[in-house]
Amino acid sequence: MEGSRRPLAKVEGRRRLRHSGITVAWRGTPNLDDWVAYIANGTRSKKPILADHSSERKVKTLLSRLQTLSRTEIEKLAKG
Protein backbone atom coordinates (compact mmCIF):
# COMPACT_ATOMS: atom_id res chain seq x y z
CA MET A 1 0.00 0.00 0.00
CA GLU A 2 1.38 3.34 -1.02
CA GLY A 3 1.54 5.94 1.72
CA SER A 4 1.02 9.62 1.26
CA ARG A 5 3.60 11.06 -1.12
CA ARG A 6 4.83 14.60 -1.17
CA PRO A 7 3.89 16.47 -4.34
CA LEU A 8 6.69 17.17 -6.80
CA ALA A 9 8.28 20.58 -6.34
CA LYS A 10 7.53 23.11 -9.06
CA VAL A 11 10.18 25.67 -9.96
CA GLU A 12 9.33 29.06 -11.43
CA GLY A 13 11.37 32.06 -12.41
CA ARG A 14 11.52 35.26 -14.42
CA ARG A 15 14.38 37.10 -16.04
CA ARG A 16 14.38 40.47 -17.77
CA LEU A 17 16.76 40.47 -20.70
CA ARG A 18 18.83 43.65 -20.68
CA HIS A 19 19.59 43.91 -24.38
CA SER A 20 16.03 43.42 -25.67
CA GLY A 21 13.91 44.46 -22.68
CA ILE A 22 11.81 41.28 -22.87
CA THR A 23 10.82 39.42 -19.71
CA VAL A 24 11.10 35.64 -20.03
CA ALA A 25 9.39 33.38 -17.50
CA TRP A 26 9.83 29.66 -17.03
CA ARG A 27 8.43 26.86 -14.89
CA GLY A 28 8.87 23.14 -14.52
CA THR A 29 9.64 20.20 -12.27
CA PRO A 30 13.24 19.13 -11.59
CA ASN A 31 14.20 15.78 -13.16
CA LEU A 32 11.20 15.83 -15.52
CA ASP A 33 10.94 17.03 -19.12
CA ASP A 34 7.95 19.28 -18.55
CA TRP A 35 9.66 22.68 -18.58
CA VAL A 36 8.19 25.62 -20.46
CA ALA A 37 9.67 29.05 -21.21
CA TYR A 38 7.58 31.92 -22.56
CA ILE A 39 7.66 35.67 -23.09
CA ALA A 40 5.91 37.11 -20.04
CA ASN A 41 5.34 40.68 -21.17
CA GLY A 42 3.10 39.70 -24.07
CA THR A 43 -0.66 40.08 -23.81
CA ARG A 44 -2.52 38.06 -21.21
CA SER A 45 -4.21 35.76 -23.74
CA LYS A 46 -1.25 35.45 -26.12
CA LYS A 47 2.07 34.52 -24.54
CA PRO A 48 4.58 33.44 -27.19
CA ILE A 49 6.21 30.15 -26.17
CA LEU A 50 9.98 29.78 -26.53
CA ALA A 51 10.29 26.17 -25.31
CA ASP A 52 7.64 23.59 -24.43
CA HIS A 53 7.98 20.05 -22.97
CA SER A 54 11.73 20.57 -22.65
CA SER A 55 14.32 19.59 -20.08
CA GLU A 56 15.62 22.00 -17.47
CA ARG A 57 19.00 22.06 -19.16
CA LYS A 58 17.52 23.07 -22.53
CA VAL A 59 15.54 25.91 -20.94
CA LYS A 60 18.57 27.24 -19.04
CA THR A 61 20.79 27.16 -22.15
CA LEU A 62 18.03 28.88 -24.13
CA LEU A 63 17.92 31.67 -21.53
CA SER A 64 21.65 32.21 -21.78
CA ARG A 65 21.46 32.32 -25.60
CA LEU A 66 18.62 34.86 -25.50
CA GLN A 67 20.75 37.36 -23.53
CA THR A 68 22.50 38.59 -26.69
CA LEU A 69 19.58 38.51 -29.15
CA SER A 70 17.47 41.50 -30.15
CA ARG A 71 13.74 41.78 -29.56
CA THR A 72 12.81 40.89 -33.15
CA GLU A 73 15.09 37.85 -33.16
CA ILE A 74 13.54 36.56 -29.92
CA GLU A 75 10.00 37.08 -31.20
CA LYS A 76 10.92 35.28 -34.42
CA LEU A 77 12.28 32.38 -32.38
CA ALA A 78 9.07 32.10 -30.34
CA LYS A 79 6.21 29.85 -31.42
CA GLY A 80 3.13 32.02 -31.87
Model pLDDT for residues 8-56, shown as the tens digit of each residue:
889 999 999 999 999 999 999 998 999 999 999 866 667 899 999 999 9
User: Would 5 be classed as within a structural domain?
Assistant: no
Q: Which domain holds residue 26?
A: 11-77
> Amino acid identity of 10?
K
Handedness of CA 18, 23, 27, 33 (dihedral sign): negative
User: Would 6 be classed as within a structural domain?
Assistant: no
User: Would 4 be classed as within a structural domain?
Assistant: no
User: Would 41 be classed as within a structural domain?
Assistant: yes
**Alpha-carbon span 35 to 38, nearest angstrom:** 10
**Number of domains comprising the chain:** 1
User: Would 1 be classed as within a structural domain?
Assistant: no
Task: Give the Å distances, CA to CA, from 45 to 2, 19, 29, 33.
Answer: 40, 25, 24, 25
Is 0.85 surpassed by the pTM of this model? no
Which residues lie across from 14 on neighbouring strands? 25
**Alpha-carbon span 75 to 70, nearest angstrom:** 9
